[in-house]
A and B are shown apart, each in its own frame.
Chain A
Amino acid sequence: MDLSLTDEQKLIVDQVRRFVREEIVPLEDGLDPDADSLPPDDHERLAGRVAEMGLYGLDIPPEFGGPDVDIVTRTLLAIEMSQHRAGLYAPCYNVFGGAGLAQMFEANDDQKQRFLFPMLRGEKKTFFGLTEPSGGSDPARAIQTRAVRDGDDWVINGAKMFISGADRADFGLVFARTDPSKGRAGVTCFIVETDTPGFHVRRIVHTLRAARYATELQFADMRVPHANVLGEVNGGFAIANDRVSRQRIPYAATCIGVAVKAQELAVEYAGIRETFGDKLAHRQGIQWMVVENEIDIRQALWITLAAADKARRGEPFRTDSALAKIVATEASGRVVDRAMQIHGGYGVTKDLPFERWYREMRIRRIGEGPNEVQRHIVARDLFGSSLR
Protein backbone atom coordinates (compact mmCIF):
# COMPACT_ATOMS: atom_id res chain seq x y z
CA MET A 1 0.00 0.00 0.00
CA ASP A 2 1.39 3.37 -1.00
CA LEU A 3 0.70 5.92 1.71
CA SER A 4 2.47 8.86 0.09
CA LEU A 5 0.19 11.76 -0.71
CA THR A 6 -0.44 12.76 -4.32
CA ASP A 7 0.24 16.37 -5.28
CA GLU A 8 -3.49 17.04 -5.32
CA GLN A 9 -3.94 15.53 -1.86
CA LYS A 10 -1.05 17.60 -0.51
CA LEU A 11 -2.62 20.72 -1.95
CA ILE A 12 -6.04 20.30 -0.39
CA VAL A 13 -4.72 18.98 2.91
CA ASP A 14 -2.54 22.06 3.12
CA GLN A 15 -5.47 24.31 2.18
CA VAL A 16 -7.69 22.86 4.91
CA ARG A 17 -4.84 22.96 7.46
CA ARG A 18 -4.40 26.68 6.81
CA PHE A 19 -8.15 27.22 6.97
CA VAL A 20 -8.34 25.59 10.42
CA ARG A 21 -5.33 27.49 11.75
CA GLU A 22 -6.17 30.88 10.28
CA GLU A 23 -9.96 30.92 10.44
CA ILE A 24 -11.23 28.48 13.06
CA VAL A 25 -8.65 28.51 15.86
CA PRO A 26 -8.52 32.33 16.22
CA LEU A 27 -12.34 32.47 16.35
CA GLU A 28 -12.33 30.06 19.27
CA ASP A 29 -10.65 32.66 21.48
CA GLY A 30 -13.91 34.56 21.54
CA LEU A 31 -16.27 31.60 21.84
CA ASP A 32 -17.62 29.90 24.95
CA PRO A 33 -15.28 27.10 26.04
CA ASP A 34 -17.93 24.49 25.33
CA ALA A 35 -19.50 26.09 22.27
CA ASP A 36 -20.55 23.80 19.44
CA SER A 37 -21.60 26.41 16.90
CA LEU A 38 -20.45 29.71 15.47
CA PRO A 39 -22.39 32.97 15.43
CA PRO A 40 -24.56 32.89 12.27
CA ASP A 41 -22.53 35.57 10.44
CA ASP A 42 -19.25 33.76 10.97
CA HIS A 43 -20.82 30.46 9.96
CA GLU A 44 -22.16 31.90 6.74
CA ARG A 45 -18.89 33.61 5.91
CA LEU A 46 -16.80 30.51 6.52
CA ALA A 47 -19.21 28.16 4.75
CA GLY A 48 -18.86 30.54 1.80
CA ARG A 49 -15.08 30.23 1.97
CA VAL A 50 -15.37 26.43 2.02
CA ALA A 51 -17.65 26.53 -1.02
CA GLU A 52 -15.07 28.71 -2.81
CA MET A 53 -12.46 26.04 -2.04
CA GLY A 54 -14.79 23.53 -3.70
CA LEU A 55 -15.00 21.43 -0.54
CA TYR A 56 -18.54 22.09 0.71
CA GLY A 57 -20.47 18.88 1.47
CA LEU A 58 -17.36 16.70 1.42
CA ASP A 59 -19.09 13.42 2.20
CA ILE A 60 -22.01 13.96 -0.16
CA PRO A 61 -21.73 11.57 -3.13
CA PRO A 62 -20.99 13.38 -6.42
CA GLU A 63 -24.30 12.24 -7.96
CA PHE A 64 -26.00 14.32 -5.24
CA GLY A 65 -23.83 17.36 -5.82
CA GLY A 66 -20.85 16.57 -3.54
CA PRO A 67 -17.30 17.50 -4.60
CA ASP A 68 -16.22 13.90 -5.46
CA VAL A 69 -13.33 13.57 -3.05
CA ASP A 70 -12.21 9.96 -2.45
CA ILE A 71 -12.41 8.43 1.03
CA VAL A 72 -8.65 8.39 1.65
CA THR A 73 -8.46 12.13 1.00
CA ARG A 74 -11.58 12.71 3.09
CA THR A 75 -9.91 10.81 5.92
CA LEU A 76 -6.83 13.02 5.63
CA LEU A 77 -9.06 16.08 5.68
CA ALA A 78 -11.05 14.83 8.67
CA ILE A 79 -7.73 14.59 10.52
CA GLU A 80 -7.07 18.26 9.73
CA MET A 81 -10.58 19.50 10.44
CA SER A 82 -10.67 18.30 14.04
CA GLN A 83 -7.50 20.13 15.11
CA HIS A 84 -9.17 22.70 17.35
CA ARG A 85 -10.98 22.80 20.67
CA ALA A 86 -14.45 21.78 19.44
CA GLY A 87 -12.96 19.56 16.74
CA LEU A 88 -13.95 16.16 18.02
CA TYR A 89 -17.71 16.57 17.84
CA ALA A 90 -18.03 19.83 15.90
CA PRO A 91 -15.16 19.77 13.39
CA CYS A 92 -14.80 23.27 11.97
CA TYR A 93 -18.20 23.97 13.54
CA ASN A 94 -19.73 22.16 10.54
CA VAL A 95 -18.90 24.87 8.02
CA PHE A 96 -17.88 22.09 5.61
CA GLY A 97 -21.54 20.96 5.49
CA GLY A 98 -22.09 17.24 5.27
CA ALA A 99 -24.26 14.38 4.22
CA GLY A 100 -26.07 14.17 7.57
CA LEU A 101 -27.78 10.82 7.69
CA ALA A 102 -25.95 8.67 5.15
CA GLN A 103 -28.83 6.14 5.17
CA MET A 104 -31.02 8.72 3.48
CA PHE A 105 -29.28 7.95 0.21
CA GLU A 106 -31.37 4.73 0.29
CA ALA A 107 -34.54 6.85 0.11
CA ASN A 108 -37.05 6.47 -2.73
CA ASP A 109 -37.73 9.38 -5.06
CA ASP A 110 -40.59 10.79 -3.02
CA GLN A 111 -38.57 10.59 0.21
CA LYS A 112 -35.59 12.18 -1.51
CA GLN A 113 -37.70 15.20 -2.39
CA ARG A 114 -39.28 15.50 1.04
CA PHE A 115 -36.25 14.71 3.21
CA LEU A 116 -32.92 14.00 1.51
CA PHE A 117 -32.56 17.14 -0.61
CA PRO A 118 -33.67 19.57 2.13
CA MET A 119 -31.21 17.80 4.45
CA LEU A 120 -28.36 18.17 1.95
CA ARG A 121 -29.22 21.84 1.44
CA GLY A 122 -28.88 22.28 5.21
CA GLU A 123 -32.56 23.21 5.57
CA LYS A 124 -33.50 20.21 7.70
CA LYS A 125 -31.70 18.88 10.75
CA THR A 126 -31.79 15.21 11.61
CA PHE A 127 -31.28 12.58 14.31
CA PHE A 128 -30.45 8.88 14.29
CA GLY A 129 -32.63 6.86 16.67
CA LEU A 130 -31.31 3.37 17.23
CA THR A 131 -30.27 2.97 20.90
CA GLU A 132 -32.94 2.24 23.51
CA PRO A 133 -32.93 2.24 27.31
CA SER A 134 -32.61 -1.55 26.98
CA GLY A 135 -29.24 -1.24 25.24
CA GLY A 136 -27.23 -0.03 22.28
CA SER A 137 -24.42 -2.56 21.80
CA ASP A 138 -26.76 -5.20 20.48
CA PRO A 139 -29.70 -3.29 19.04
CA ALA A 140 -30.98 -6.29 17.08
CA ARG A 141 -31.96 -7.91 20.36
CA ALA A 142 -32.45 -4.78 22.48
CA ILE A 143 -34.98 -2.86 20.36
CA GLN A 144 -38.34 -2.90 22.11
CA THR A 145 -39.98 0.00 20.30
CA ARG A 146 -42.90 -1.50 18.44
CA ALA A 147 -44.48 -0.44 15.16
CA VAL A 148 -47.85 -1.94 14.23
CA ARG A 149 -49.43 -1.45 10.81
CA ASP A 150 -52.82 0.30 10.79
CA GLY A 151 -54.13 1.01 7.29
CA ASP A 152 -51.74 3.40 5.54
CA ASP A 153 -49.95 4.18 8.81
CA TRP A 154 -47.73 2.54 11.35
CA VAL A 155 -48.43 3.20 15.02
CA ILE A 156 -45.19 3.43 16.99
CA ASN A 157 -44.80 3.10 20.76
CA GLY A 158 -41.57 2.97 22.71
CA ALA A 159 -38.52 4.94 23.80
CA LYS A 160 -35.02 5.81 22.62
CA MET A 161 -32.04 6.79 24.72
CA PHE A 162 -28.90 8.88 24.02
CA ILE A 163 -30.24 10.24 20.72
CA SER A 164 -28.04 13.14 19.66
CA GLY A 165 -29.63 16.35 18.47
CA ALA A 166 -33.26 15.15 18.44
CA ASP A 167 -34.53 18.24 20.27
CA ARG A 168 -33.52 20.50 17.39
CA ALA A 169 -34.10 18.10 14.51
CA ASP A 170 -36.79 18.33 11.83
CA PHE A 171 -36.83 14.60 11.19
CA GLY A 172 -34.89 11.49 12.05
CA LEU A 173 -34.64 7.76 11.62
CA VAL A 174 -36.38 5.59 14.17
CA PHE A 175 -35.74 1.85 14.23
CA ALA A 176 -38.69 -0.16 15.50
CA ARG A 177 -39.62 -3.81 15.77
CA THR A 178 -42.20 -4.74 13.16
CA ASP A 179 -41.96 -8.53 13.51
CA PRO A 180 -41.11 -9.64 17.05
CA SER A 181 -40.60 -13.25 15.93
CA LYS A 182 -37.72 -12.45 13.62
CA GLY A 183 -34.89 -10.86 15.64
CA ARG A 184 -32.69 -8.69 13.47
CA ALA A 185 -34.87 -9.46 10.44
CA GLY A 186 -37.86 -7.94 12.20
CA VAL A 187 -36.67 -4.34 12.51
CA THR A 188 -37.84 -1.52 10.21
CA CYS A 189 -36.45 1.98 9.74
CA PHE A 190 -38.94 4.85 9.74
CA ILE A 191 -38.43 8.47 8.77
CA VAL A 192 -40.13 10.38 11.58
CA GLU A 193 -40.90 14.09 11.53
CA THR A 194 -40.43 15.66 14.92
CA ASP A 195 -43.74 17.55 14.77
CA THR A 196 -45.64 14.25 14.56
CA PRO A 197 -48.19 13.96 17.40
CA GLY A 198 -46.89 11.42 19.92
CA PHE A 199 -43.22 12.31 19.35
CA HIS A 200 -41.74 13.53 22.64
CA VAL A 201 -38.24 14.64 23.63
CA ARG A 202 -38.48 13.91 27.34
CA ARG A 203 -35.14 15.34 28.45
CA ILE A 204 -31.60 16.18 27.52
CA VAL A 205 -29.14 13.56 28.65
CA HIS A 206 -26.16 15.55 29.90
CA THR A 207 -22.89 13.74 29.39
CA LEU A 208 -19.18 14.50 29.28
CA ARG A 209 -19.70 15.79 25.79
CA ALA A 210 -20.17 19.52 25.24
CA ALA A 211 -21.27 19.39 21.61
CA ARG A 212 -24.37 17.74 20.16
CA TYR A 213 -25.83 16.55 23.43
CA ALA A 214 -27.97 13.47 23.67
CA THR A 215 -31.71 13.27 24.37
CA GLU A 216 -34.27 10.75 25.57
CA LEU A 217 -37.27 10.16 23.34
CA GLN A 218 -40.68 8.68 23.87
CA PHE A 219 -43.20 7.66 21.22
CA ALA A 220 -46.82 7.46 22.35
CA ASP A 221 -49.21 6.16 19.68
CA MET A 222 -47.17 8.06 17.11
CA ARG A 223 -48.66 7.56 13.63
CA VAL A 224 -46.13 7.47 10.80
CA PRO A 225 -47.29 7.02 7.20
CA HIS A 226 -46.20 3.85 5.40
CA ALA A 227 -44.68 6.18 2.80
CA ASN A 228 -42.04 7.01 5.43
CA VAL A 229 -40.60 3.50 5.65
CA LEU A 230 -36.96 3.76 4.58
CA GLY A 231 -35.95 0.74 2.51
CA GLU A 232 -37.89 -2.49 3.07
CA VAL A 233 -40.21 -3.40 5.92
CA ASN A 234 -38.11 -5.63 8.23
CA GLY A 235 -34.97 -4.48 6.39
CA GLY A 236 -34.02 -1.75 8.87
CA PHE A 237 -31.20 -3.51 10.59
CA ALA A 238 -29.03 -3.66 7.49
CA ILE A 239 -29.55 0.10 7.08
CA ALA A 240 -28.50 0.74 10.70
CA ASN A 241 -25.47 -1.51 10.41
CA ASP A 242 -24.34 0.00 7.18
CA ARG A 243 -24.17 3.49 8.64
CA VAL A 244 -22.27 2.37 11.67
CA SER A 245 -19.61 0.55 9.59
CA ARG A 246 -19.19 3.51 7.24
CA GLN A 247 -18.95 6.00 10.05
CA ARG A 248 -16.05 4.29 11.77
CA ILE A 249 -13.35 5.66 9.46
CA PRO A 250 -14.14 9.39 9.86
CA TYR A 251 -14.86 8.68 13.53
CA ALA A 252 -11.32 7.33 13.91
CA ALA A 253 -9.86 10.16 11.83
CA THR A 254 -11.28 12.96 13.97
CA CYS A 255 -9.75 11.32 17.06
CA ILE A 256 -6.37 11.23 15.32
CA GLY A 257 -6.65 14.92 14.40
CA VAL A 258 -7.15 15.85 18.04
CA ALA A 259 -4.20 13.63 19.02
CA VAL A 260 -1.98 15.26 16.39
CA LYS A 261 -2.85 18.71 17.73
CA ALA A 262 -2.38 17.64 21.36
CA GLN A 263 1.05 16.27 20.48
CA GLU A 264 2.01 19.45 18.64
CA LEU A 265 1.07 21.54 21.68
CA ALA A 266 2.92 19.16 24.03
CA VAL A 267 6.12 19.30 21.99
CA GLU A 268 5.94 23.07 21.83
CA TYR A 269 5.29 23.48 25.56
CA ALA A 270 8.00 21.00 26.58
CA GLY A 271 10.45 23.09 24.57
CA ILE A 272 9.59 26.23 26.54
CA ARG A 273 8.70 25.20 30.08
CA GLU A 274 11.58 24.91 32.54
CA THR A 275 11.69 23.02 35.82
CA PHE A 276 14.68 22.32 38.06
CA GLY A 277 16.81 24.51 35.82
CA ASP A 278 16.18 22.82 32.52
CA LYS A 279 13.56 22.50 29.82
CA LEU A 280 10.95 19.75 30.09
CA ALA A 281 12.00 18.64 26.61
CA HIS A 282 15.41 17.72 28.03
CA ARG A 283 13.90 15.30 30.56
CA GLN A 284 13.81 11.72 29.50
CA GLY A 285 10.53 11.17 31.35
CA ILE A 286 8.90 13.82 29.14
CA GLN A 287 10.69 12.69 25.97
CA TRP A 288 9.32 9.20 26.43
CA MET A 289 5.80 10.48 26.85
CA VAL A 290 6.15 12.37 23.59
CA VAL A 291 7.61 9.27 21.89
CA GLU A 292 4.74 7.12 23.19
CA ASN A 293 2.39 9.74 21.74
CA GLU A 294 4.11 9.47 18.38
CA ILE A 295 3.85 5.68 18.39
CA ASP A 296 0.15 5.88 19.23
CA ILE A 297 -0.53 8.50 16.56
CA ARG A 298 1.32 6.68 13.78
CA GLN A 299 -0.25 3.32 14.54
CA ALA A 300 -3.71 4.86 14.56
CA LEU A 301 -3.00 6.86 11.42
CA TRP A 302 -1.74 3.92 9.39
CA ILE A 303 -4.46 1.51 10.47
CA THR A 304 -7.11 4.12 9.67
CA LEU A 305 -5.64 5.03 6.29
CA ALA A 306 -5.35 1.32 5.46
CA ALA A 307 -9.06 0.89 6.20
CA ALA A 308 -9.88 3.93 4.07
CA ASP A 309 -7.74 2.59 1.24
CA LYS A 310 -9.61 -0.72 1.28
CA ALA A 311 -12.91 1.13 1.22
CA ARG A 312 -11.68 3.23 -1.71
CA ARG A 313 -10.75 0.10 -3.65
CA GLY A 314 -14.21 -1.36 -3.04
CA GLU A 315 -12.88 -4.22 -0.91
CA PRO A 316 -14.65 -5.39 2.27
CA PHE A 317 -13.48 -3.13 5.10
CA ARG A 318 -15.70 -3.96 8.06
CA THR A 319 -12.92 -5.56 10.11
CA ASP A 320 -10.40 -2.89 9.09
CA SER A 321 -12.71 -0.06 10.10
CA ALA A 322 -13.46 -1.80 13.40
CA LEU A 323 -9.71 -2.03 14.07
CA ALA A 324 -9.27 1.63 13.12
CA LYS A 325 -12.04 2.62 15.52
CA ILE A 326 -10.50 0.66 18.39
CA VAL A 327 -6.92 1.81 17.85
CA ALA A 328 -7.68 5.47 17.07
CA THR A 329 -10.07 6.03 19.98
CA GLU A 330 -7.84 4.33 22.55
CA ALA A 331 -4.53 5.72 21.26
CA SER A 332 -5.87 9.27 20.97
CA GLY A 333 -7.21 9.10 24.51
CA ARG A 334 -3.74 8.20 25.75
CA VAL A 335 -2.15 11.00 23.71
CA VAL A 336 -4.49 13.65 25.10
CA ASP A 337 -3.88 12.33 28.61
CA ARG A 338 -0.10 12.55 28.24
CA ALA A 339 -0.24 15.98 26.61
CA MET A 340 -2.38 17.15 29.51
CA GLN A 341 0.19 15.78 31.97
CA ILE A 342 3.03 17.60 30.19
CA HIS A 343 1.09 20.85 30.55
CA GLY A 344 0.73 20.33 34.30
CA GLY A 345 -1.98 22.44 35.94
CA TYR A 346 -2.61 24.42 32.77
CA GLY A 347 -3.48 21.14 31.08
CA VAL A 348 -6.66 20.79 33.10
CA THR A 349 -7.83 24.41 32.83
CA LYS A 350 -10.44 25.73 30.48
CA ASP A 351 -7.82 28.10 29.06
CA LEU A 352 -6.51 25.20 26.97
CA PRO A 353 -8.40 22.65 24.88
CA PHE A 354 -7.16 19.49 26.62
CA GLU A 355 -9.86 19.23 29.26
CA ARG A 356 -12.59 19.31 26.60
CA TRP A 357 -10.76 16.77 24.44
CA TYR A 358 -10.16 14.58 27.47
CA ARG A 359 -13.86 14.50 28.35
CA GLU A 360 -15.16 14.15 24.84
CA MET A 361 -12.54 11.59 23.78
CA ARG A 362 -13.74 9.25 26.53
CA ILE A 363 -17.08 8.92 24.78
CA ARG A 364 -15.35 7.73 21.64
CA ARG A 365 -14.73 4.29 23.14
CA ILE A 366 -18.50 3.92 23.62
CA GLY A 367 -20.13 5.73 20.70
CA GLU A 368 -20.64 4.32 17.19
CA GLY A 369 -20.46 0.77 18.54
CA PRO A 370 -18.46 0.35 21.77
CA ASN A 371 -14.90 -0.94 21.46
CA GLU A 372 -15.85 -4.28 22.99
CA VAL A 373 -18.32 -4.75 20.16
CA GLN A 374 -15.63 -3.75 17.64
CA ARG A 375 -13.39 -6.42 19.14
CA HIS A 376 -16.25 -8.86 18.72
CA ILE A 377 -16.45 -7.94 15.02
CA VAL A 378 -12.73 -8.54 14.58
CA ALA A 379 -12.90 -11.81 16.54
CA ARG A 380 -15.76 -13.00 14.35
CA ASP A 381 -13.59 -12.35 11.33
CA LEU A 382 -10.71 -14.31 12.86
CA PHE A 383 -12.73 -17.22 14.25
CA GLY A 384 -15.45 -17.37 11.63
CA SER A 385 -19.10 -16.34 11.73
CA SER A 386 -20.05 -19.21 14.07
CA LEU A 387 -19.02 -16.89 16.90
CA ARG A 388 -22.17 -15.29 18.34
Chain B
Amino acid sequence: MAVRLDKPWRRLDSAAVSGLSGQLGVYQLSDDGATVRAIHRVDARSLFGLRGELGRELAERGEGLFFRLEVNHQPRTRWLELMMVHRADHGCLPAWNPPEDGEGLGRLSPA
Protein backbone atom coordinates (compact mmCIF):
# COMPACT_ATOMS: atom_id res chain seq x y z
CA MET B 1 0.00 0.00 0.00
CA ALA B 2 1.51 3.34 -1.04
CA VAL B 3 2.05 5.88 1.71
CA ARG B 4 0.93 8.80 -0.42
CA LEU B 5 -2.50 9.15 -1.95
CA ASP B 6 -1.52 10.15 -5.44
CA LYS B 7 -4.44 9.14 -7.59
CA PRO B 8 -5.65 11.51 -10.32
CA TRP B 9 -7.88 14.34 -9.12
CA ARG B 10 -11.55 14.26 -10.11
CA ARG B 11 -13.96 17.16 -10.38
CA LEU B 12 -16.32 17.38 -7.41
CA ASP B 13 -19.75 17.60 -9.00
CA SER B 14 -23.07 15.87 -8.47
CA ALA B 15 -22.42 13.27 -11.18
CA ALA B 16 -19.15 12.25 -9.55
CA VAL B 17 -20.72 12.15 -6.09
CA SER B 18 -23.67 10.03 -7.16
CA GLY B 19 -21.25 7.45 -8.59
CA LEU B 20 -19.38 7.07 -5.30
CA SER B 21 -19.79 4.23 -2.86
CA GLY B 22 -20.86 4.62 0.75
CA GLN B 23 -17.80 2.93 2.21
CA LEU B 24 -15.43 4.24 4.85
CA GLY B 25 -12.19 5.91 3.87
CA VAL B 26 -10.26 9.13 3.43
CA TYR B 27 -10.43 11.92 0.88
CA GLN B 28 -8.50 14.98 -0.15
CA LEU B 29 -9.84 18.23 -1.60
CA SER B 30 -8.12 20.63 -3.97
CA ASP B 31 -9.14 23.91 -5.59
CA ASP B 32 -6.77 23.66 -8.55
CA GLY B 33 -6.50 19.92 -9.15
CA ALA B 34 -2.91 19.90 -7.87
CA THR B 35 -2.64 21.37 -4.37
CA VAL B 36 -4.01 19.40 -1.44
CA ARG B 37 -6.21 21.81 0.54
CA ALA B 38 -7.84 19.36 2.94
CA ILE B 39 -7.51 15.79 4.13
CA HIS B 40 -10.53 14.24 5.81
CA ARG B 41 -11.66 10.88 7.05
CA VAL B 42 -15.03 9.22 6.78
CA ASP B 43 -15.74 6.99 9.73
CA ALA B 44 -18.70 4.91 10.81
CA ARG B 45 -20.56 7.95 12.15
CA SER B 46 -21.26 9.11 8.61
CA LEU B 47 -24.71 8.26 7.30
CA PHE B 48 -23.69 7.55 3.73
CA GLY B 49 -19.94 7.08 3.90
CA LEU B 50 -17.68 8.67 1.28
CA ARG B 51 -20.63 9.51 -0.94
CA GLY B 52 -22.43 11.28 1.90
CA GLU B 53 -19.42 13.29 3.06
CA LEU B 54 -18.33 14.36 -0.42
CA GLY B 55 -21.95 15.23 -1.17
CA ARG B 56 -21.91 17.45 1.92
CA GLU B 57 -18.64 19.08 0.79
CA LEU B 58 -20.21 19.79 -2.58
CA ALA B 59 -23.33 21.27 -1.01
CA GLU B 60 -21.29 23.44 1.37
CA ARG B 61 -18.45 24.52 -0.90
CA GLY B 62 -20.12 24.44 -4.32
CA GLU B 63 -18.66 23.25 -7.62
CA GLY B 64 -15.17 24.04 -8.82
CA LEU B 65 -13.27 21.76 -6.45
CA PHE B 66 -11.41 18.53 -7.07
CA PHE B 67 -11.19 15.41 -4.91
CA ARG B 68 -9.56 12.02 -4.66
CA LEU B 69 -10.26 9.27 -2.19
CA GLU B 70 -9.21 5.93 -0.81
CA VAL B 71 -11.60 3.27 0.45
CA ASN B 72 -10.10 2.11 3.72
CA HIS B 73 -11.65 0.41 6.72
CA GLN B 74 -9.14 2.03 9.06
CA PRO B 75 -9.93 5.65 8.11
CA ARG B 76 -8.56 7.18 11.30
CA THR B 77 -5.05 5.77 11.11
CA ARG B 78 -4.90 6.35 7.37
CA TRP B 79 -6.04 9.98 7.87
CA LEU B 80 -3.34 10.52 10.49
CA GLU B 81 -0.77 9.01 8.17
CA LEU B 82 -1.78 11.24 5.23
CA MET B 83 -1.67 14.33 7.45
CA MET B 84 1.79 13.39 8.69
CA VAL B 85 2.99 12.78 5.15
CA HIS B 86 1.59 16.15 4.09
CA ARG B 87 3.33 17.89 6.96
CA ALA B 88 6.58 16.09 6.16
CA ASP B 89 6.32 17.15 2.52
CA HIS B 90 5.11 20.74 3.01
CA GLY B 91 5.97 21.66 6.57
CA CYS B 92 2.35 22.34 7.47
CA LEU B 93 -1.13 20.85 7.40
CA PRO B 94 -3.34 21.47 4.36
CA ALA B 95 -4.79 24.98 4.43
CA TRP B 96 -8.39 23.94 5.04
CA ASN B 97 -7.70 21.54 7.90
CA PRO B 98 -8.33 23.22 11.25
CA PRO B 99 -5.20 23.61 13.42
CA GLU B 100 -6.59 21.18 16.03
CA ASP B 101 -6.23 18.39 13.47
CA GLY B 102 -2.50 18.74 14.02
CA GLU B 103 -2.66 18.38 17.81
CA GLY B 104 -0.82 15.31 18.93
CA LEU B 105 -0.01 14.40 15.35
CA GLY B 106 3.11 12.23 15.06
CA ARG B 107 6.07 12.75 12.77
CA LEU B 108 6.81 10.81 9.61
CA SER B 109 9.80 10.95 7.29
CA PRO B 110 8.45 9.09 4.29
CA ALA B 111 10.82 8.15 1.48
A→B interface (CB under 8 Å) = 32-37, 167-168, 202-204, 206, 208, 210, 213, 215, 350-351, 356, 359
Contacts and interface: CB of A to CB of B under 8 A. Distances in A.
Given A35-B71, A203-B47, A213-B49, A168 B21 contact: yes
A36 B21 CA distance: 10
26 contacts: A33-B1, A33-B73, A34-B71, A34-B73, A35-B71, A36-B23, A36-B71, A37-B21, A167-B22, A167-B48, A168-B21, A203-B47, A203-B48, A206-B44, A206-B49, A208-B73, A210-B23, A210-B73, A213-B22, A213-B23, A215-B22, A350-B1, A350-B72, A350-B74, A351-B1, A356-B73
A213 B47 CA distance: 12
A140 B24 CA distance: 33
Contacts of B22: 167, 204, 213, 215
Contact of B48 (A35, A36, A204): A204
B34 to A, nearest CB: 21
Contacts of A32: 25, 70-72
Given A204-B22, A350-B72, 18 more contacts: A32-B70, A33-B1, A33-B71, A33-B73, A34-B23, A167-B22, A168-B21, A202-B47, A204-B46, A204-B47, A204-B52, A210-B23, A210-B71, A210-B73, A213-B21, A213-B23, A350-B1, A351-B1
Given A167-B22, A213-B22, A350-B1, A33 B72 contact: yes
Interface of B: 1, 21-25, 44, 46-49, 51-52, 70-74
Interface of B is mostly: loop
Contacts of A37: 21
User: Which one of A33, A37, A208, A356 has the highest number of Cβ atoms from chain B below 10 Å of its Cβ?
Assistant: A33
Contacts of B71: 32-36, 210
A35 B49 CA distance: 14
Nearest to A35: B71
Contacts of A167: 22, 48, 51
B25 A34 contact: yes
Enumerate the 6 nearest inter-chain pairs by beta-carbon distance, A residue then B residue, closest first: A206-B44, A32-B71, A204-B22, A203-B47, A34-B73, A34-B71
Nearest to B51: A167
Contacts of A203: 47-48
Contacts of B21: 36-37, 168, 213
Contacts of B23: 34, 36, 210, 213
User: Which one of A168, A206, A213 has the highest number of Cβ atoms from chain B below 10 Å of its Cβ?
Assistant: A206
Contacts of A356: 73
Contacts of A204: 22, 46-49, 52
A204 B50 CA distance: 11
Given A204-B22, A213-B22, A213-B23, A34 B72 contact: yes
A204 B1 CA distance: 26
A101 to B, nearest CB: 20
